[in-house]
């Protein structure tokens, strides 16, 4: 180009004063070299561009494939993670259902134990009532009999049963607290699984066409509180194992509580039967003693009546003998007035004298026998008073023991059907001793 310009300038210079433009002149070889250099540079640039294009295409293919595989792998990982979390969620669902069922079962057993414990109060009240009633016995009937022993034993059995049941109720309460704590852990873990599932499912649904995607600040950071997969697995496994262990302990405790309820009920029932057997036996013994006393009372009253009749007859005989003695005395005294020689000791005199001596002996014997009979009558009245007093004691004791039996019906008859029986044993009503004659009670 420069050469062409120079030639043009030279030609024009020759034509008009041949003026030459100042500047560098290149040679033809330079010109050819320049052309070749330009061609070579162009080839080189095109080759470099081609290589870059090939590398770009390869990079695009590689990055597209890598991105697709990465996205596919992450989709797979998300799917697997969702499946894993979902499996744990289902496990926790079942565990939560089981622990809820166990909590409900243990609560029902605890309520049964509380009802059994409450029922023991009635048994204790009845036993104490019977002991209190029997404290109203009087005199010789205040004995430490088998009934009292069985009642005291019954109180001890009830106290022991109440302590055991109260301990089981406390254990059930503590176990319910442990179950609730384990359930809270499971529920907390379950909620976390639900939220994680929701988040991972949202992530799984995201694509380049999703409207809510954007760049985030430092998305690759590790959030505070992050855990490793093993820790995550161990946490869920621990919660599950802990809940299962508490459920196993609860099941064992339920069995122990039901066994305790059955054992305490059986022990108390056996003691109730023993107490009531002793009470019925004591009532039978008391009835026999009461009947014996009534028989003795009837016989004693009959004997008193006969003795009083004999004393009356003895007194009549004594009066008659006194009259006979008066007659004999009068005859003897009258015959002392016979005159002179007529006052002789004849057979009449001897007969009347013997009669007086005989009558005096008879009267002494009758008086002695009358005193003896009176003493026997007094003794009979004293014994009758003792009998009737003891009858009163026995009647009172029978009434109390029958009240105890009536009160103990509350242990086997439902409260709504229980109707106290009043004076079922008519002979045991409190009665004053029969009035005695001639103030003989003062002799006791």
Q: What is the mean pLDDT of each run of 10 residues along the chain (444 residues)?
A: 42 49 76 90 91 89 85 87 90 93 94 92 90 87 88 93 94 94 93 90 84 81 82 90 93 94 93 91 91 92 92 91 89 84 81 88 91 92 92 91 88 64 43 40 34
158: its two tokens: 């009830």
| pLDDT of res. 222 | 79
CB 387 within 8 A of CB 293: yes
| pLDDT of res. 8 | 44
Report CA-CA distances (Å) from 322 to 148, 223, 359, 368, 408.
63, 138, 8, 15, 68
CA-based nearest residue to 354, from 328, 319, 372: 328
CB 167 within 8 A of CB 264: no
41/35 Cα distance (integer angstroms): 10
Residue count of the chain: 444
- The structure's pTM equals 0.69
Which long-range CB contacts under 8 A does 136-141 form with residues at least 24 apart?
Answer: 136/396, 136/400, 137/393, 137/396, 137/397, 137/400, 138/392, 138/393, 138/396, 138/397, 139/389, 139/390, 139/393, 140/390, 140/393, 141/393, 141/394, 141/396, 141/397
Residue with tokens 């061609």: 39
| pLDDT of res. 437 | 39
| Straight-line distance from the first to the last Cα atom of the chain, in angstroms, rounded to the nearest whole number | 176
261/265 Cα distance (integer angstroms): 6
380/308 Cα distance (integer angstroms): 11
| pLDDT of res. 418 | 56
Which long-range CB contacts under 8 A does 81-86 form with residues at least 24 apart?
Answer: 81/200, 82/197, 82/200, 82/201, 82/204, 85/193, 85/196, 85/197, 85/200, 86/193, 86/197
| pLDDT of res. 432 | 43
| pLDDT of res. 135 | 87
């Amino acid at each position: 180009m420069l050469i062409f310009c120079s030639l043009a300038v030279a030609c024009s210079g020759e034509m008009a004063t041949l003026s030459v433009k100042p500047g560098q002149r290149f040679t033809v070889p330079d010109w050819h070299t320049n052309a070749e250099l330009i061609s070579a540079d162009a080839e080189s640039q095109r080759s470099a561009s081609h290589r870059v294009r090939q590398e770009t295409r390869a990079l695009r293919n590689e990055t597209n494939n890598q991105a697709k595989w990465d996205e596919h792998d992450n989709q797979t990982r998300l799917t697997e993670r969702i499946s894993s979390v979902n499996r744990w969620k289902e496990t926790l669902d079942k565990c939560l259902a089981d622990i809820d069922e166990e909590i409900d079962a243990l609560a029902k057993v605890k309520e049964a134990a509380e009802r059994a414990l409450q029922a023991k109060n009635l048994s204790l009240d009845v036993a104490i009532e019977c002991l209190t009633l029997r404290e109203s016995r009087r005199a010789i009937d205040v004995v430490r009999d088998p009934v009292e022993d069985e009642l005291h034993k019954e109180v001890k059995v009830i106290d022991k049963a109440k302590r055991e049941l109260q301990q089981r109720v406390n254990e059930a309460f503590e176990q319910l607290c442990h179950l609730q704590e384990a359930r809270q852990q499971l529920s907390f873990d379950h909620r976390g699984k639900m939220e994680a599932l929701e988040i991972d499912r949202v992530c799984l649904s995201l694509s380049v066409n999703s409207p809510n995607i954007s760049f985030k600040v430092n998305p690759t950071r590790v959030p505070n509180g992050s855990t490793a997969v093993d820790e995550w697995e161990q946490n869920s496994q621990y919660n599950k194992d802990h809940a299962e262990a508490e459920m196993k302990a609860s099941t064992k405790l339920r069995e122990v509580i039901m066994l305790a309820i059955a054992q305490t009920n059986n022990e108390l029932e056996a003691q109730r039967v023993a107490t009531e057997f002793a009470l019925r036996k004591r009532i039978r013994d008391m009835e026999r003693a009461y009947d014996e006393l009534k028989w003795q009372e009837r016989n004693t009253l009959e004997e008193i009546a006969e003795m009083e009749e004999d004393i009356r007859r003895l007194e009549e005989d004594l009066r008659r003998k006194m009259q006979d003695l008066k007659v004999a005395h009068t005859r003897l005294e009258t015959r002392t007035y016979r005159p002179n020689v007529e006052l002789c000791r004849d057979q009449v005199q001897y007969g009347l004298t013997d009669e007086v001596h005989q009558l005096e002996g008879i009267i002494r014997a009758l008086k002695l026998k009358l005193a003896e009979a009176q003493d026997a009558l007094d003794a009979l009245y004293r014994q009758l008073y003792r009998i009737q007093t003891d009858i009163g004691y026995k009647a009172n004791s029978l009434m109390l023991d029958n009240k105890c039996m009536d009160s103990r019906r509350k242990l086997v008859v439902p409260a709504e059907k229980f109707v106290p029986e009043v004076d079922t044993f008519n002979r045991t009503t409190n009665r004053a001793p029969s009035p005695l004659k001639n103030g003989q009670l003062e002799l006791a």
